[in-house]
Every structure is written in structure tokens, then in C-alpha cells.
Amino acid sequence: MNKRVYGILGISSIMANWNADFTGYPKTTSSGDIFGSDKAFKYPMKKMWENSGEKVLYIKSMKLSQGKSGEVDLVPRSLKERYEYIFNEEDLKKNKDNKKVLTNLFSAIDVKNFGATFAEEGNNISITGAVQIGQGFNKYEDSYAEEQQILSPFRDASVKDNKKDQEEAKSSTLGTKIVSNEAHYFYPFTVNPLAYKEFVELGVTDGYTEEDYLKFKKAAISAATSFATNAKVGCENEFALFVETESDLYLPNLTQYIKFEKGEDKNAMTLTCDKLLNDLKERILNIEVYYNPYTTKIDVNIEGAKFYNIFTNEEV
């Protein structure tokens, strides 16, 4: 692939929690700005790839483990165990062929896109990903968190002390569910296929290809919508901008050029990077904008840009 790609990926969160901190509330900066980490965006992409049969290394998977006492526990695999599981390796410690390990790593779709830090015995490998996703900040000013009490369908059988405690246990709560009333996250991203130039020279990968990019692109515009966990129901892909350029053109973070406004019938997204992109049109190969036309209208004047329905992928 002989081009760079710059863009924006947008997520809507309606009565959902796109990325919680350790308190369960939507993640915020020290100044109170709501944001989502790059890990929150990458995880549903990895799940989508895994469900489609791709090799995904950096994702939680479980195994049954028998302890010394004979009890069988369900525990997460370590990185070494995950590597051995997906690459049918008997024991990574016995593998002294670093080239083979590197080749295996690059065959995992998440490593091929996002890179890897693989610090296992005898194999200390660092790969800077061709795809870099930044932090996604919420641009809807009226976002706030809501806390919902969840009742348990069962009494607490451990309460036996007195009648009062037993009465309370009959109507015990399972916990709370914390959501945002509404939030709209916008992530910057870049794709630099030259990131793997050194590894291509080592003969462990064919580099970042057009096929790799198309797999990333497909997941980037649909993974959040497809990922329907309890906390993520209500989170959807609602916007994506892909700016494909010459390989030696460098663009700034594009999320600084997008504005979101809540409307009565439809929300409005305004892209103010039109002058920047129009001035560079001779060095830009292609521009595509994906959005939800049922809830959103786009205000932009980028020459040659193509607009698509983010759900149907049909041009609008």
C-alpha cells in the first residue's frame, strides 16, 4: 500500500456507557471532559475480527485450569498461552526461532494493524502499529451520567444474622448501571504503511497491504454497532472520515476540525477542514465520508468527497 490515510471515527452513545473508568462512570479528564480511550475502540474491532475467523492475539480468552487442590477454575490465558493457542505452539520457551515468532505475530490481524509489545522469555519484540488511533473526545456539551439501580431476582442467602437483615436481603440490589444520557465521541486516526519497512526487509511480513487497510476500514465503520454487550447497547458507529493521501503528505489531527450540534429533527456535524483539504487536493487521492443519514446532516464543502450511508455503505 503506497499511501497514507488520515481521518476521524465517530461513536454515538445513547443511554449507554462507551468507556467507563474504574468507578463505573464515563471516563473523564481532570478538567471534566468526557473521552474514550483508543482501547475502547479497538476492542469491538478485535471481537468483530475474531468472530469472522481472523487470528487475534491481544484479546482476553479463558481456559480451565486445575489447581494443586484438584479444583478446576476458569482463568484468563496469559500472553504466552494465548500465542501458543492461536499458533498451535507447544511451548513458546522452546522456540528459539525469532523470525518464526515475528512472522506469526504479523499474521495476527490486530498486530498487523495496531502493533504489539511482546515481552516473553527469549522473545522481546516491539512493533509500532501502522494504524494509530488517538483518544476520542465527546463533543456534545450537554452530556451527563445517569445512575440506575438494578434489582436482583434472588435473595442474599448469606444473610442469616437477624430478621431485619433477612428482610432487607429479600429486596437486595444487584448493583448499579451507570450510563451517559447522550455522548458523541470523535477519534483521530492515521494509517502509515511505512511503519513496517524494517520488518519487510527482514522477510517476516509483506508489509501493510491494501487488503489489511480494507479490513481495518470495514471494522472501523461497523464494529461498535455490532458489539452489543449490556453496557454497549446504545453505542453505534455514526461517522467516519477517510482521507487517502500521497505517502509523503502529513496532515494534523483532524478531530479539531469537527463540531457537533444537537438538533430537533437531525443532529448537525460541521467539518471545518475543507479549506485545508481543498488546498491540498492535488496530493489527496480520495476522500470518503460515512455517516448516519437518518439522524445526522453533514455541513462540509470538501471538493471531490464522496458520502456514504454508514450502515448500508451505499452512496448518498
- Alpha carbon of 242 to those of 104, 141, 268: distances in Å? 29, 25, 19
Nearest CA-CA partner of 305 in 2, 77, 8: 8
How confident is the model over 28-71, as pLDDT tens digits?
A: 999 999 999 999 999 999 999 999 999 999 999 999 887 777 78
Axis-axis angle for helices 210-220, 38-51 (nearest 10)? 110
Residue 170's pLDDT is 57
Task: Look at residue 72 in the predicted model and tell me its pLDDT.
Answer: 85
pLDDT per 10-residue tile (average), the chain, 316 residues = 97 95 94 96 96 95 83 90 93 88 96 94 89 97 90 67 57 77 97 96 96 97 84 88 97 97 94 96 97 95 95 94
Q: Residue 224's pLDDT is what?
A: 93
- Judging by beta carbons within 10 Å of its beta carbon (0-12, 13-18, 19+), is residue 315 exposed, middle or buried? exposed
The whole-model pTM stands at: 0.90
What pLDDT is attached to residue 93? 87
Are 9 and 186 in contact, with CB atoms under 8 Å apart? Answer: yes
Give the C-alpha separation, 181 to 83, whole Å: 40
Buried/exposed code over 155-187 (b: 16+ C-beta within 10 A; e: otherwise): eeeeeeeeeeeeeebeeeeeeebbbbebbbbbb
Detail the DSSP E strand segments found in 17-79: 35-36, 62-66, 72-76
How far lies 59's CA from each of 55, 78, 141, 293, in Å? Answer: 10, 10, 33, 33
Chain position carrying cell 495476527? 108
pLDDT at 138: 98
